[in-house]
Chains A and B, each alone.
Chain A
């Protein structure tokens, strides 16, 4: 890949992650409203939310490092995640072992939010933060095992290698199980009911976000929307890449459609469930991990 093409691809991925993610958030809100017999806000409402919050005064409850840098760091990690993820084409930032980096960067974005919450000193943020950490510690293994299945099958530790192998190989039982596990993990990664336990508006008034407002809240929200979009891309590109046309614009369009379906499913699950308690959620993901390990077992016997 030429340097110019790589820069172009970087811009494309970052642009999709930043500019398209509020649109998907708006679409999920609209779908949620429809399922609840409501009209719902206009599809472009998240853009207005961001604009409004960005224009507000920056009020802070403390003057620590995370209060100053947390929001930008969080969004920064999500942008980095977008550069590591395939969106129609190969990931713009590719190097040996970037699958591992992908996992780390995805977690880092969430961890920054938790640390900022801790720094704010609110009791709600503490409780919400510890819930988020517990949840991350059980959901990360699910995603890791799902990716390891691919790594094992494709014998490569690069995202582009995985993508190429899966596109050429076609569906297998082990990858189908891994895809399902990754999808179930996405529900918690996107902070959706029944796993929005860390924020739990009715219990913790937003948990780690409780003291965030104005532009800082905007950046955190933006980071969360972008993160859910990028992780959906990872799911559809690595596990369901077919059909692969080879033309960037067409492949991107196809991926966006698949992402829309994935997020619609996530939203339906969100609407038809109440929030779980954190212990119940941990028990659930423990079972999912074992399910994902079954996928790995299939991979070992070559299915």
Chain B
């Protein structure tokens, strides 16, 4: 946890920033000074609209802050404005900074911070789409997450837009894509592509096999999760929805959400509960990294790795089923702790499963380390220099493979990570090979963490007594290190037993933004493994609030029609 001295030091530096800015910012981390009561680990900086870009630049440049995400909130019923809150992390001080800017509802514009903080590119496009605040000076102001036929001027996250609104579908709308540079042709990877398990469209601009640029259109998987969280569900129901944000790291999202509520409400999770969360989180990392290893092998045509990695993984899934009743989507988390304890007879069983997993993972590591063909396919592929990774806010194994010392388990310890300390798995190469090595090391470290947590597992209950209602108008930021990187949940508590605003940032959200930089100058053959090396999770990234009305309409084509369509597409144009 951050010490009082750390906090005071950061406070002083921020106050120095404030003085330099002639009073257009206010530090408001005292109760009553502002509408929302922040937490002890969060510095709440209120900033005027004109100063937001300068302050963000200073935070990153002078204080070494790392951009997390921006939360756009319709605060008209509360404060009469739209709240644009840029979240930053001061990893060394274990602090969050919330840069809060109220935007007048009559003049919904704000200075874009993307020119000075490139990592904010998607986050700013997203609040433009969702609450209708225009980031002025944004280098790429296209739509990010709304469907192409979503009407202009209808902002789904505004409080007066119902969660089940269905605007009429429009035919023949296409997303505005970048034009390929002269002399290049376009190779589309997606929207549906064999090695991408989910829809996502990359348009590669290629000169022969060499890539000179690319464009992205994603967010095909909108499920309206955040909107549901603050209109329909209650605090106690959301963990089950949060768990469904991702099919692989579901426990991570439910933990991250529960921690945010616990922070906001001041609930202390029992120590055994925190340890069990750690165990489940690390089991999830083990099976996720094995899953990734298999997919990465498959992408470069190395199916032997796929088959072996998934064979090793399977007993972990059975173990999770024995513990929770489900292979995935355990339904174990709830606000205040866990709904299910670890049965005493499960303890030896966990160790029994981990033994072979570790042994076989070591064997796989040996095989990989000596495989020159594999190294040829991954070394110097998808290069990501540390400064680029830092600027784009890349998190998780891709960041650590570029030498960035980022790990949410160490930067902002949660669950039992203050007592069961993970090893920071670093590599300097910044290429796909380094990312393979980081993940394999983490896999083995997770085995160690589960063992240590089991050995030190305290007795007692796993669920705190959550008596009172969650108080309104409190803000909390919670992070969890998912296998793919740091997941961030922001919570603003509301009065009707549900959040006023719940914002989720999955790790693939920043990582995918690094993709154009990573494939520049590479060949087509390298694109799938480069994308794979980010371990992208599109559905998590696209948890946001729009409902794609087009997917609701089902049309059955007759074979003749299909054939005609196919030929028309091919015909002279």
Contacts and interface: CB of A to CB of B under 8 A. Distances in A.
Given A35-B304, A36-B303, A276-B373, A202 B528 contact: yes
A200 interface: yes
B206 to A, nearest CB: 8
| Main DSSP-derived SS at the A contact region | loop
Nearest to B208: A130
Contact of B525 (A36, A121, A197, A272): A197
A127 B524 contact: yes
Interface string A186-217: 00000001101100111111000000000000
Contact of B298 (A130, A202, A279): A202
A280 interface: yes
Contacts of B570: 61-62, 121
B208 to A, nearest CB: 8
Interface in B487-507: none
Contacts, number: 87
A108 interface: no
Interface residues of B, number: 39
A155 interface: no
| Main DSSP-derived SS at the B contact region | helix
Given A123-B188, A203-B525, A59 B566 contact: yes
A209 B208 CA distance: 19
Nearest to A62: B570
Contacts of B185: 123
Nearest to B307: A36
B100 to A, nearest CB: 45
Contact of B300 (A35, A37, A38, A274): A274
Nearest to B308: A37
Nearest to B296: A274
Contacts of A273: 302, 373
B376 interface: yes
A274 B302 contact: yes
Given A202-B301, A278-B525, A37 B187 contact: no
B301 A275 contact: yes
Contact of A277 (B306, B374, B377, B569): B377
Nearest to B367: A272
Contact of B301 (A36, A62, A196, A278): A196
Contacts of B563: 59
Nearest to A201: B194
Contact of B307 (A37, A193, A194): A37
A99 to B, nearest CB: 33
B523 A277 contact: yes
B34 interface: no
A37 B311 contact: yes
Interface string B261-304: 00000000000000000000000000000000000011111111
A194, A203, A274: most-surrounded residue (chain B CB, <10 A): A274
Given A38-B307, A196-B301, A276 B377 contact: yes
12 contacts: A36-B306, A36-B308, A57-B559, A121-B570, A123-B186, A193-B302, A197-B525, A201-B301, A274-B297, A274-B301, A274-B373, A277-B525
Interface of B: 185-188, 193-195, 208-209, 297-308, 311, 371, 373-374, 376-377, 523-528, 559, 563, 566-567, 569-570
